[in-house]
Structure 1
Amino acid sequence: MLASTSQLVLRNIEDLSGKVLLVEPAADSLAQELIHQAPQLELSCYSTDTAVATNWQHSNVKLYTDVSPNFTDTFDTVVLFYPKSKEQLGFTLAQIKTAIGQQTQLFVCGDNKGGIKSLSSHAGKLGLSANKLDNAKHCLWFSLFGDFSQLADISASSFTISTAGESLILHSLPGVFNHGKLDTGTALLLDNLPQVSHGTVLDFACGCGVVGAMLKRKHPAIELFSSDISQLAVKATELTLAANGLSGRVIAADGLPDTPKLFDCIVSNPPFHTGIKTDYSIVESFIRQSAQRLAKHGSLTIVANSHLAYLELLQQAFKQVEVVAKANGFVVYRAH
């Protein structure tokens, strides 16, 4: 099934020519459709989403997945999918600016509910201009133009938190969950972390790496693994661990990482969105996988919005589930 934004790309397929770079597309079958409908195009994809990258890799499309990709040439056409995080637009454009030549045509596609309607004012703040070309599928299709070479490179932001009796330096990048600050749910989780003095510990959907860093700070003997579907989060977590002199393995993975086979403890503030849409299947799959991947006497600790029906999901997968804490609209659950 094609995302609405991908359908709009196909609707405007005649705008695409020559060497085409798709930037942060959705995880759907757009690659196959483009290959089928316009075999003359030379397709490449830049994605920091592991699921999307895997999907495009299976289509034998040239793939760029590094946060700072090394483009050796420019493209005739660039199609950028408007990010959920507005601050990520300037960051992504700066990351791909070496792929944009003077003759490159750059188009931006986005869902109306995702903020694409404000692209013109957003582009103006970046010294660029946007022109609306099409409106369909509840999405918009813009051309974006200007001097992309003048876009400033954006480095990771850093900030310090003091909580749960510890102080940590955190690094974050645009597009990482709750970029640049500690969210309320994670703060509650940090105050109610499991007491795990040793063994393999996974910080799932690690974001900027704060949960794993706190666990490693409090329990240096654990073997820490941190994973996220986003390469941006992986990079941020690596920077966070390094800034605090902590060790851990950081993995880009769609779902739980393949290794190690078993964990003694899994901790997470799990996502429940795919793009701008609520997607409970992510958490359902995560809970099922966790039950299968925990060692004997292992535990899963998660934080969630109190209105989300996670208790039933946990009780279906685990023998013992307890509510550890409730505050400010969030709940911390622990399952054994």
Structure 2
Amino acid sequence: MLANTSQLILRNIADLTGKVLFVEPEADQLARQLQTLTAISCYTTDAAVKTQWQDAGVNVYFAAKPDFTEKFDTAVVFYPKSKEQLASTLQLLHSALAEKANVYLVGDNKGGIKSLVNHAEKLGLHAHKLDNAKHCLWFSLTGDLGQLTLRQLSSFTLSLNDKSLQICSYPGVFNHGKLDKGTALLLQQLAHINDGKVLDFACGAGIIGAYLKQQAPAIELYCSDISMLAVEATQATLAANQLSGTVVAADGLPSTPANFKHIVSNPPFHTGIKTDYSISEAFIAQSANRLQKGGTLTLVANNHLAYQQLLEQAFGNIKVLAKANGFVVYQTVKSQ
């Protein structure tokens, strides 16, 4: 299945010449539809996208700050959800582009690309609309990418239970620059976690994992996220607070360790700009298999989402620990 943005790329495939680099593409089957292109690569910070493009036989650069080993004649950039990411992503590409390389941007209208012309002007660039279909837009981009600013880690101080944490993050990472209301509610319900192997799933900037390790130093902390930007941010958060933990990029639960005593999460429910329950279904099912007997899964979600039914199907028991500000904290116990 192809996202609308990917379908628009195929509609304009004649624009893509020479060595082509696809930048932060969506998690779909686009890589397998590009047989007419003889030299393609992918740059992504998404573990699911990395797997899909590698399985299609494509060379993938998977890092927060990639070390490009070749020059590209064409780059296709998928417009990011966070506008702050665009300048940094384009600056990263500067060293990878051949002289007179073509740069194209594609994005869903609902994802903000309609404002690209103004956005580009503020960056000292020029965006030229070339096509409009599938509720998406196709632009060419010109200008000096080298003058753009590379994304840098930023930080803020979070005070909880008379202790403070330094939280580090990048634009586009969940909890960038502030603590969200859902996570704040979740942190108030974690006193039962004192030891054992503990996973902060979809860790974002690492707030949950750092809080747990600070409050309960005896735990063996693991943090995972599908995004390499989040992985690097969480590593920086732990280091800034002199806390230890293993942080990995993974599509779903990390492969090791085999079992956890506790799993905690403010899980994602979007793929791109669309609500996607398949992420939550997979996460909850995997958690049921990977928790040790008597272990707990504690998560927070918007109260309009159908998490209670998913948890009851997987675990057969569920408790509501708290409700506030449109969020609800659920807890379930692995009974056998």
TM-score of the aligned structures, taking structure 2 as reference length: 0.97
| Alpha-carbon separation, structure 1, partners of 2:76 and 2:94 | 13
Query: CA shift at 1:174, angstroms?
Result: 1.4
CA deviation after TM superposition for structure 1 residue 288, in Å: 1.2
Residues 267-286 of structure 1: CA deviation (Å, up to 9, x unaligned): 00000000111001111111
Counterparts of 1:136 and 1:206 in 2: how far apart (Å)?
A: 35
Q: 1:150 aligns with which of 147, 151, 159?
A: 147
For the pair 1:110 / 2:127, whether they are aligned, the reply is no
Report what 1:294 is aligned to.
291
Q: Give how far 1:195 is off.
A: 1.9
- 2:260 maps to which of 258, 263, 268: 263
Partner in structure 2 of residue 17 of structure 1: 17
**Contact conserved, 2:85 with 2:151, CA < 8 A, in 1?**
no
Q: Does 1:312 align with 2:279?
A: no
**More off after superposition, 188-197 vs 83-92:** 188-197
1:50 and 2:50 matched: no
| Conserved 8 A contact 1:46-1:64 | yes
Residues 1:275 and 2:272 aligned together: yes
Amino acid at match of 1:165: D
Report what 1:211 is aligned to: 208
Alignment counterpart, residue 96 of structure 1, candidates 93, 97, 120: 93
Separation of aligned partners in 2, 1:100 and 1:194? 51
1:3 aligns with 2:3: yes
DSSP 3-state at the match of 2:95: helix
Call closer, same or farther: CA 1:49–1:130 in 2, change over 3 Å.
Answer: same
SS in 2 for 1:240: helix
Contact 2:117 2:128 in 1 (8 A): yes
**Displacement after TM superposition at 1:311 (Å):** 1.2
Cα deviation 1:194-223 (Å, max 9, x = unaligned): 422211000000000000000000010110
Distance (Å, rounded) in 1 between the aligned partners of 2:54 and 2:290: 27
Look up the match of 1:244: 241
Structure 2 residue 71 is the aligned partner of structure 1 residue 79: no
The match for 1:133 is: 130
Please name the residue that 1:33 is paired with: 33
Q: CA deviation at 1:254?
A: 0.4
Identity %: 63
Matched, 1:182 2:171: no
Query: 2-side partners of 1:249 and 1:59: how far apart?
Result: 30
Displacement of 1:29: 1.5
The C-alpha deviation readout for 1:28-64, integer Å capped at 9, x for no partner, is: 11111112xx14x310100000000000001111110
- What is the identity, as a one-letter code, of the residue corresponding to 1:77? T
Amino acid at match of 1:7: Q
Separation of aligned partners in 2, 1:267 and 1:153: 32
| SS of corresponding position for 2:31 | helix
Deviations 1:211-257 (A, max 9, x none): 00000000101100000001110010000000000000001000011
Contact 2:89/2:150, CA 8 A, preserved across alignment = no
Q: Answer whether contact 1:194 1:301 (CA < 8 A) is retained.
A: no
What is the match of residue 62 of structure 2? 65
Q: Read off the aligned partner of 2:147 and give its amino acid letter.
A: Q
* TM-superposed deviation, 1:101: 3.4
Q: CA contact under 8 A between 1:169 and 1:244: conserved in structure 2? A: yes
How far off its partner does 1:66 sit? 1.1
Distance 1:290 1:184 in 2: 24
Extract unaligned runs of 5+ from structure 2.
none
1:225 counterpart = 2:196: no
- SS of the equivalent of 1:161 reads strand
Unpaired segments ≥5 residues, structure 1: none
Offset from partner CA, 1:127-148 (integer Å, 9 cap, x none)? 1110000001110000011011
Task: Tell me the secondary structure at the aligned position of residue 34 of structure 2.
Answer: helix
| From 323, 328, 332, the counterpart of 2:320 | 323
- Quote the Cα distance in structure 2 between the aligned partners of 1:124 and 1:74: 26
Task: Determine helix, strand or coil for the equivalent of 1:68.
Answer: coil
2: CA distance, partners of 1:104 / 1:87? 23
Letter in 1 for 2:202: A
